[in-house]
Amino acid sequence: MELDYTAQGRRPTVQQIIAGWRKAGKPASFTVEYGETFARFKLYLGKWVASGNGCDGVKRDTVVKALQADEDKGNTAR
């Protein structure tokens, strides 16, 4: 699943990313794009990990913390 926020013209907030992820059914893997920024999030062995191109358009660490908090609550449907 891909969330592309390029057209909105401003960096996506963590809340926007989490809301988009939830709306998509909480997939175990998804990408976020914003301009030149590309970030990939994946649930691996019960922990969320992030990778990307290093651009600062997405706060990957903060998104991972929010995803992991959801996982730790047992709210992730798979």
57 burial via Cβ count (<10 Å: 0-12, 13-18, 19+): buried
The pLDDT of residue 39: 96
User: CA-to-CA distance for 68 and 13, rounded, in angstroms?
Assistant: 17
Condensed to tens digits (0 to 9), the pLDDT of residues 11-61 reads: 999 999 999 999 999 999 999 999 999 999 999 999 999 999 977 889 999
Instruction: Report whether pLDDT(76) > 70.
Output: no
Tell me the pLDDT band of 73, cut-offs 50, 70 and 90. confident
User: What sign does the dihedral 48-57-37-9 (CA atoms) show?
Assistant: positive
Q: Can you give the pTM of this predicted structure?
A: 0.89
| Spatial CB neighbours of 78, under 8 Å, sequence gap ≥ 6 | 26, 28, 43
Give the pLDDT score at 55. Answer: 79
